[in-house]
Amino acid sequence: MTESSYLAAGELSSIGTPTLWVVTIAGVLALLVLDFLVTRRPHEVSVKEAFGWSAFYVALPLAFGTWIWSRYGSQQGVEYLTGYLVEKSLSVDNLFVFMLLLGAFAVPAALAQRVLLYGIAGALVLRAVFIALGAAALQTLDFAFLLFAVVLIATAVKLLRDALSGHAQEVDINKMRSVKLLRRFMPVVDEYQGTKMTVRYHGRRALTPLALVVVAVLATDVVFAVDSVPAVYGITEDPYLVFATNAFALLGLRALYFVLHAALSRLVHLSYGLAIILAFIGVKLGLHWAHGIWSGVPEIPTLASLGVIIGVLVVVTLTSLRATRNASPGDKEVVAGQR
């Protein structure tokens, strides 16, 4: 990011033309519809199916990034790839919480991907809202970058504190506010009824457990949107690139969950890595804000940010695998420090 971002008119520069926005949003909606069609008939996801879809959802954003690079130049290309890597890393944190919720609600294996898909769709909507609010804040508030920096550093401190506490997070569905609220207004049947959210029960409409878990997942999406949107704005100020990186990072979560499910419990140091990354981006945003006031304050180049993020992820992955190398395959201990 450079001083050019502080435009006299208060506008953010963007490669997102109206045509590009329409095509991108249409493409995202088409992919969501495709995912809903795939999950129309509940079934357990095989390893082959999960790897196939994961490969597709990795190849697609990388191909898009190559097009961004060739069409708009290396600066936008690096910003897109760095932002995508940050959002993909944070999306793995989403998966930990999704795993906890699916287990707490005893979601049948055949319905797991449908729950994940509702969570992804809700996350996309919430991210779009937060992206628009973030863009508006950057255009109207001189201290918006500083505010984003504080949010990210505070989140990093919380992640680190939770990780150092050394206790696993548990989910008590009876204490969840969203569940309490729904049960206050409608009865809830005990058994899952396929993909149905509501059924007729003793002459009145009642919710199924699927409705409860979907609402719980959507509630967690709000928390993650607060973290992820400021984080990617710390990489690029282009609202279009912010949206594209979020969309591509989220679209592949359904398949990625089933690929990583067995490995999630081994990533015991991921919270430390995410805390470092969020704190680093927070410092980057703080320096960027200060540079707009005092030109002598240095800024962190996006390419350097990419190197730091990749380095941190590689290190915490290797240390996690080393720390859990003697863990038995059936050990499902929840990762300490996850939200």
β-bridge partners, 204: 201
Closest among 215, 210, 233, 262 to 45, alpha carbons compared: 262
Domain that holds residue 274: 3-103+121-168+225-323
pLDDT tens profile 72-100 = 999 999 999 999 998 888 887 777 778 87
Is 201 part of any domain? no
Is 136 part of any domain? yes
- Residue 34: CB atoms within 10 Å: 11
β-bridge partners, 206: 199
The rounded distance, in Å, linking the Cα atoms of 60 and 71 is 16
Beta strand residue intervals within the chain, DSSP E: 198-201, 204-207
The rounded distance, in Å, linking the Cα atoms of 263 and 293 is 46
Q: Which residues contact 134 (CB under 8 A, 6 or more apart)?
A: 144, 148, 229, 230, 233, 239, 242
pLDDT tens profile 109-135 = 888 888 888 888 888 888 888 888 888
Is 316 part of any domain? yes
| C-alpha 68 chain-centroid distance | 22
Phi, psi (deg, nearest 5) at residue 336: -70, 145
pLDDT classification of 25: cutoffs 50, 70, 90: very high
Is 262 part of any domain? yes
Is 192 part of any domain? no
pLDDT tens profile 286-336 = 888 888 788 888 888 888 888 898 899 899 889 988 888 776 544 444 433
Rg (CA), the chain: 21
Is 208 part of any domain? no
> Above pLDDT 70, what percent of the chain?
88
β-bridge partners, 205: 200
Is 115 part of any domain? no
Q: Which residues contact 325 (CB under 8 A, 6 or more apart)?
A: none
The rounded distance, in Å, linking the Cα atoms of 159 and 273 is 10
pLDDT tens profile 146-186 = 888 898 898 888 888 877 775 445 556 667 777 788 888 88
Is 113 part of any domain? no
Report how many domains make up the chain.
1
